[in-house]
Structure 1
Amino acid sequence: MENKNKVIKKIGIIAVAAAVIFFTGMNVIATDKKVETKKTETVNSYKENIVIASKADAKTLDPQRTIDTTSNKTIRLIFNGLLSLDKDLNVQPCLAESWEAVDDTNTIFHLKKGVKFHNGDTMTAEDVKFSIDRARVSNQTSYLFKPITEVTVIDENTVKITTEKPFGPLLTNLAQTQGCIVSKRAVQEVGEENFFQHPVGTGQYKFKEWIPGDRIIVEAFDDAFQGAPKVRQITMRTITEVSNRMIALETGEADIAFDIGIMDKEAVKKNKDMEFLEVASPSSLYLGFDQTTPEYQNKKLRQAIAYAVDTKVLAEAVFRGSAIAADSPLPKACPAHITPAKQYDQDIEKAKQLMAEAGYKDGLNIELWVNDDGPRTDMCVIMQEQLKAIGINAEIKIFEWGAYVSRTAQPNKQLYLLSWNSTSDGDAALYALFHSSQQGLSGNRSFYKNEKLDEVLDKARYSVNQEERTKLYQEAQEILQEDIPHYTLVYPMLNVAIRKNVKNMIFRNDGYIDVENMYVINEK
């Protein structure tokens, strides 16, 4: 207990600027918090141009090339999918107005008629087929759509999707960012490799300008099938420092700011001009062990590191009530979550014993990789200190976010800190991270392979029986917690802060915002 208090005290200053900041995840889901509308505003009082502050720049604006939530936040302004998810996680119509299952492996989708792309073209079944076929083969998105074997155009407004086996998460996956529908003609005109800079979708906002590292600007698309938006232009500003995002919000330079620092939380709540929104999420932050790096092939070393790390200290010192210590690789927000039998409550003596059994009685020098993010680097400083207690000297290496995403997708790397944001379905939360077919960019960055786990995840993926799927995901958690290809540290809360003149914005449990009916009142 004395050591824990000492660590918390030591890290207190470091954690002052900590924010709940998370990336790499993908997917749209969960409960929402909505800023209520008052009926006293007039049309001419609306603010036409707003700024949303984000901690990092997008890597891509192509929905079939995305793997991180920062990119997804802008992509979702520009594109729509066949389906969407409501606040209760139910699948809802979007570009598809209805659908029916012909049998266990064939589903027919009826498209909304007259939907326009930003280039003026009318969306047809050919665009839908083209988009889903792209998603099936993309390295970044195939984990969601690989079971789809064929997309058949029945007529201009009807498509049939065929899967190799009954595919439980089909509808949920089609509602994700990676399932958004792109303009076939636009992709062919600019080329597959250039579309990420020239996106054309059906969303309420069309792409205008991208100044890398600084801002992305989208403008209103008045022919959107949802109706013309009241906000005429949205600028996604990259403001990497959490304190600067807070300043931008306070001064009115920004109207909405993602990932406000934990120490700024109370300040936002006390400010009559601002509002703080925070939600539990189906996401996790983890310590990854690359199985292609010889020392991390040793399970006893992996377990020793886990026993040396006190996740409760991480949750308390860095997140201060905005995260909880993890007990499973599947987040608590997922219905199939259990607390596996194997747990790694901090036990230094046990960790030292495992170090000796692993062949590292005299200690070990390693690198601990992290991206340039305040809370994550704070976590690494804490873990660096904790690992010293078992003879591990960890040198912290900090990378820019874009470079980090690319580096961690490669084999032969050191210990690394990363997060995963998913839907509440176990398939999205576990398949990409741990199935051997997903090694590298798709999500399995530890390059883990376990035939038994593959079998369990495949059975769950190809079942439409929810009770059976839940039991299989519970079995998967037991396997993973024992084998520990990565060590799940905390389950975060996600946050966004807004100025109170922002109306009808929905903040969902996946950390995304829904702006379809949003408007902003001019401040006097």
Structure 2
Amino acid sequence: MFTFKKGLIFSLMLLLILLFTVGCSESNESSNNQDKNDTEAEENTEDGDTEKAEAKAPQAGGEVVVGVAGDFINLDPILSTSGDDYPFVWGIYDTLVTYNSDLEIQPGLAESWEFPDDTSIVLQLKKGVKFHDGTDFDAEAVKFNIERANSEDSVIPDLRHVEEVEIIDTHTVKLHLSVPDASILLALTERPGLIASPAAIEKDGEEFQRNPVGTGPFKFVSHVPNGELVYEKNEDYWKEEEPYIDKLIFKVMQQETTRINALKSGEVDIIAGISPFSVDSLETAENIKLEMPNSSHRSKAIVFNASMPPFDNLKFRQAVTHAIDRDIIVDTLTNGYGEPLYQIFPNDFWAADPDLKIEYDPEKAKQLLEESGVEDPSFTMLISQQDFYEPMFTDIITEQLAKIGITVETETMEGTAAYQKMWAEKESQAMSSGTAGKPDPHLLMEIWVIADSFFNAGEQTTPEFDELIVAANSTNDQAERAKLYHEINRKQALDEVVNIIPVMSVPIIYVLNDKVHGFTANGLGKSNFNSIWIEE
């Protein structure tokens, strides 16, 4: 049934994996320069985001234009791999499950669920929901989508433990798991939980990505590559009153100054991300407010291929990680809004080890390098042209590693070509990379450290490491999981240095015209615009 070609999938999925760094930035926890008469209070919304609810009632009508740094990779959920695609796909599709700003699980198209045992989950589906093409959302649609997400055509690993999707009745499905999976519900808040129309997929085949159909608040209208994407209101949306606006438009503006000028002139209403050094000037701008989540799950890191010299040498990998002065990098590149990062989880995430720190110790790094026996301590690091923090990030890394005797050559490429070379062709030693957030720690493991992950170019692992990852995902006791992830973090970052060297967290910031309401930035960098409205 699913006939997509792998080459096509990859070429479509690569463009924006790291593009988030072009526009990640910060503001104060509350928006600046807002109307002093607006009285705001925190509330959890039905779709899971914590929004600021103004005293004024939402107004219906109008259109919102969002300025973005780059186009999406793919609007087909099983072919998209960039966190930057979420603002695009969340308008078209609903997820089976969602979460609020604290990453607490909330109902979506699945209005309730239960676990009969450790290896099954029963989902009760919402009734009366229709896809944009008029077909019914039901258990058959859920079975179709989950099986498609697990097919060989998919690039999504999150539901690999789902062995069977059993239809109990028209609005009840039972997922049978091969092993206990603590991440299964939060996996359904991600791409595999985005439900597309089976009828539209069967009708359009590979062309579905160009005419996507879901149950979401907006319908796809048109797309001009690297130009603009236009959505219109779904008049039959199952959430009462939403969406408020009649049209949602994304305009691609690669230069940040262009996006900022467009916001000031009124050409766009929202900028989806700015650099840290633009914050100060925008805080005092008229009719503009800034939004930022309380914490950021996005980061900058060095990823490498552990099957290639010199990264196949443990002592060499350890030398690199101790030679990096993370504090200097953060101070130089984030304008005071970032943090040093020593593990793949953000510092305030429940799975992070608060005691784990990698000391900047060039003398120790020199000793490790000597012990490594590497005769030619040098490597080439790829840089994506779409990355805001480049080439500054790699320049600093290069300078720091040179101090212990490691030579770094850089190769700057267009984003798609860089990712193709690093992960599809596996021909590069290392790459300056960004990491996007996930609501459950195991989902991040699936991306970066599971041996057969697409992004683990060297397929690096150890039996003990694998056993710990399985154990941490096999219990629902968060305290026990946290203890296991602390051990995993230490092995990943220090003992084995598996696949990735985290360096710094990067801030996430959106800039809005102050007439835009109903939006709150998401800590994963995957905010949606489904509940926004315009004050006229």
Q: When the two structures are superposed, what TM-score results if normalisation uses the length of structure 2? A: 0.86
RMSD value over aligned CA atoms? 2.4
1:12 maps to none
Return the offset for 1:401.
2.7
Structure 1 stretches (4+) deviating beyond 6 angstroms? none
Q: Is the 8 A contact 1:285 1:490 kept in 2?
A: yes
SS in 2 for 1:427: helix
Matches of 1:365 and 1:474, distance apart in 2: 30
Partner of 1:8: none
2:203 corresponding residue in structure 1: 189
Matched ranges for 1:234-245 at <5 A:
234-245=248-259
Partner amino acid, structure 2, of 1:167: D
1:501 pairs with 2:515: yes
Check conservation: 1:435, 1:453, Cα contact below 8 A: no
Q: Structure 1 residue 186: deviation in Å? A: 0.7
Q: Are 1:378 and 2:389 matched, yes or no?
A: no
Residues 11-45 of structure 1, C-alpha deviations (whole Å, 9 max, x = no match): xxxxxx985379xxxxxxx99563443427865xx
SS at 1:216 equivalent: strand
Q: Deviations over 1:163-192 (max 9, x none)?
A: 11222111111122331111111111111x
- Measure how far apart 1:304 and its partner are: 1.9
Structure-1 separation of matches of 2:141 and 2:351 = 35
Distance 1:352 1:374 in 2: 31
Q: 1:39 aligns with which of 56, 70, 77?
A: 56
Distance 1:406 1:364, change over 3 A: closer
Residue of structure 2 equivalent to 1:7: none
Q: Which residue of 1 aligns with 2:239?
A: 226
Farther-moved stretch of structure 1 (169-178 vs 399-408): 399-408
Q: Note if 1:399 corresponds to 2:417.
A: no
Identity, % of aligned positions: 26
- The whole-number CA distance in structure 1 between the counterparts of 2:314 and 2:150 is 34
**CA shift digits 1:129-181 (9 cap, x unpaired):** 00111122357554210111111112221111111122211111112233111
Instruction: Supply the distance in 2 between the matched residues of 1:98 and 1:84 (Cα, whole angstroms).
Output: 12
Once the two structures are superposed, residues 186-215 of structure 1 have per-residue CA deviations (whole angstroms, 9 ceiling, x without a partner) of 111111x33222211000111111211222
Aligned to 2:41: none
Which of 343, 346, 355 is equivalent to 1:328?
Answer: 343
Gaps of 5+ in 1: 1-16, 23-29
Structure-2 residue corresponding to 1:453: 465
Q: Could you tell me whether the CA contact under 8 Å between 2:276 and 2:507 is conserved in 1?
A: no
Q: Select between 238-247 and 318-327 the one with higher mean Cα deviation.
A: 238-247
After superposition, residues 272-311 of structure 1 pair within 5 angstroms as 272-279=286-293, 280-311=295-326
Distance in 2 (alpha carbons) for counterparts of 1:334 and 1:245 = 32
Deviates more, 1:120-129 or 1:139-148: 139-148
Offset at residue 60 of structure 1 (A): 0.3
Cα deviation for residue 333 of structure 1 reads: 3.4
Deviation at 1:292, TM superposition (A): 2.3
For residues 358 and 505 of structure 2, the distance between their equivalents in structure 1, rounded to whole angstroms, comes to: 16
Aligned residues of 1:31 and 1:508 also touching (Cα < 8 A): no
CA change 1:460–1:18 in 2 (3 A) is closer
Give the residue type in structure 2 aligned to 1:281.
S
Q: Is the contact made by 2:421 and 2:427 (CA closer than 8 Å) also made in structure 1?
A: no
Larger helix share, 1 or 2: 1
Residue 99 of structure 1, aligned match among 110, 113, 125? 113
Deviation of the 1:518 alpha carbon: 1.5
- Counting only pairs closer than 5 Å after superposition, residues 428-443 of structure 1 correspond to structure 2 as 428-438=443-453, 440=454, 443=455
Distance 1:230 1:41, change over 3 A: closer
Q: Distance in 2 between matches of 1:404 and 1:140?
A: 21
- Secondary structure of the residue aligned to 2:408 is strand
Q: 1:33 to 1:167 in 2, by over 3 A?
A: closer
Structure 1 residues 452 and 363: alpha-carbon distance in aligned structure 2, compared to 1, 3 A threshold: closer
1:427 aligns with 2:446: no
Q: Is the 8 A contact 2:339 2:505 kept in 1?
A: yes
Go from structure 1 to structure 2 and tell me whether the alpha carbon gap of 1:323 and 1:188 turns closer, same or farther (over 3 Å shift).
same
* Equivalent-residue separation in structure 2 for 1:175 and 1:33 (angstroms): 16
Which residue identity lines up with residue 237 of structure 2 in the other structure?
A
Aligned to 1:470: 482
CA distance in 2, matches of 1:312, 1:400: 29
Give the C-alpha shift of residue 325 in structure 1. Answer: 0.4
